[in-house]
Amino acid sequence: MSTLISPKGLQWFAALTKQCQSISTPIDSVRIADGELGAHSCRFLLVTANPQAHFPRARRGEVGLQEGIALAEAINDVIEQDAHSDSKRTLVAIVDTPSQAYGRREEAMGIHQALAASVSAYARARQAGHPVIALLVGKAMSGAFLAHGYQADRILTLANDAVMVHAMGKAAAARITMRTEDELDVLAQSVPPMAYDLKSYASLGLVDTMLELSPASSDSDVNEAPGELDTSLVEQALRTTQADILKQPRGLSRRLHGQNRQASLRVRQMLAEQWNAGA
């Protein structure tokens, strides 16, 4: 499956961490930088392509065994360092990852456990009081998104076609459901959770803010780095989101109010009634 390697993650990471201190990691596919977001300390995290990666199936920006470890370590360090501080550093996950790594070595070594390490780290950070923000600038697919971004307090997305959230790539989904990609799109019009477009995804209630960039950068010229205007717009959105997180109760329950996610709330309401009735 030769898909183009997306430069978006690295471009946004570079733009947003200009004033930050780069933190060394054991592998080049995970980039970490520390800086400030408003008056608050902040750590940026990115998984990106590394054509020289030790594991051949994790060279195009996939979250693999070593990426799971590197993310977990970078987050666990923050949790530990801030354990006795009142001010918990913000984590910003910049997301542009095509998938988890698919490979025999990965399965043999227990890649599920590597991804569990980073999920655990993000979840514990949020639960310990660290504001966690996911910034989607490209693909956020399946297990890769679970491992890097989906545990965030808030999900911000750029409002452009490069951003895609899904459980399975379109080509693979078409093969498995024995439909053409066009047929999938038609079906998705009546089944929003199946759709690949951002608007349908937002209708599930999972996106907090969609960021409209300047017209010049919203076209699909993937090679163009974000301009100053767009960068400051995103920075401003991150600061606003951080402030919002710090003054509200934490948890993922704010995701339960989407127009097309009503059953998730209904299930919880009924469960709560029956839970107490059975006590």
Partner 1 sequence: MSTQMQPQTTAATGFTDLSARDRVRSLLDPGTMHELLTPFDRLTSPWLEKQGVVPQFDDGVVIARGKINGQNTLVAAIEGSFQGGSLGEVGGAKIAGALELAIEENRNGNPTSAVLVLETGGVRLQEANLGLAAIADIQSAIVELRAMQPVVAVITGPVGCFGGMSISAGLCSYLIMTREGRLGLNGPQVIEQEAGVNEYDSRDRGLIWGLTGGEQRFQCGLIDQLVSGSVGDTRSAVVQCLASGVPAVHPSEAWLQHKDALQAIDMDQPMTPSYARQILQQGDDQ
In this complex, which beta carbon is closest to partner 1, that of residue 81 or of residue 266? 266
* Residues forming a β-bridge with 154: 133
C-alpha closest to that of 6 among 69, 87, 97: 97
Residue 208 in the binding site for partner 1 (CB under 8 A) = no
Q: Say if CB 16 and CB 235 are below 8 A apart.
A: yes
Residue 51 in the binding site for partner 1 (CB under 8 A) = no
Residue 268 in the binding site for partner 1 (CB under 8 A) = yes
In this complex, which beta carbon is closest to partner 1, that of residue 229 or of residue 271? 271
Please state, in angstroms and rounded to a whole number, the distance separating the CA atoms of residues 230 and 198.
19
Which segment (15-23, 42-50, 169-177, 210-218) binds partner 1 by CB under 8 A?
169-177
> 31 — phi, psi (to 5°)?
-110, 135
Q: Which of 14, 59, 77, 112 binds partner 1 (CB under 8 A)?
A: 112
Amino acid at 267: V
Please state, in angstroms and rounded to a whole number, the distance separating the CA atoms of residues 14 and 237.
17
In this complex, which beta carbon is closest to partner 1, that of residue 222 or of residue 272? 272
Please state, in angstroms and rounded to a whole number, the distance separating the CA atoms of residues 115 and 152.
15
Please state, in angstroms and rounded to a whole number, the distance separating the CA atoms of residues 133 and 126.
10
Residue 162 in the binding site for partner 1 (CB under 8 A) = no
Minimal distance, residue 248 CB to partner 1, in Å: 16
In this complex, which beta carbon is closest to partner 1, that of residue 165 or of residue 233? 165
Residue 69 in the binding site for partner 1 (CB under 8 A) = yes
Q: Which of 165, 233, 237, 238 binds partner 1 (CB under 8 A)?
A: 165
In this complex, which beta carbon is closest to partner 1, that of residue 39 or of residue 108? 108
Which segment (4-12, 159-167, 214-222, 240-248) binds partner 1 by CB under 8 A?
159-167
Residue 170 in the binding site for partner 1 (CB under 8 A) = no
> 249 — phi, psi (to 5°)?
-65, 145
Which segment (30-38, 87-95, 161-169, 235-243) binds partner 1 by CB under 8 A?
161-169
Query: Which alpha helices (H) appear in 28-110, and where do they start and end?
Result: 65-81, 104-109
Residue 257 in the binding site for partner 1 (CB under 8 A) = no
Please state, in angstroms and rounded to a whole number, the distance separating the CA atoms of residues 62 and 58.
5
Which segment (38-46, 51-59, 211-219, 236-244) binds partner 1 by CB under 8 A?
51-59
Residue 5 in the binding site for partner 1 (CB under 8 A) = no
> 278 — phi, psi (to 5°)?
-95, 0
In this complex, which beta carbon is closest to partner 1, that of residue 179 or of residue 239? 179
C-alpha closest to that of 29 among 121, 79, 100, 80: 100
Task: List the end-to-end C-alpha distance of the chain, in Å, as a whole number.
Answer: 52
Q: Say if CB 68 and CB 27 are below 8 A apart.
A: no
Structure tokens at 22: 């780069």
Residue 4 in the binding site for partner 1 (CB under 8 A) = no
* Size of the residue set binding partner 1 (CB under 8 A): 80
Residue 209 in the binding site for partner 1 (CB under 8 A) = no
Residue 30 in the binding site for partner 1 (CB under 8 A) = no
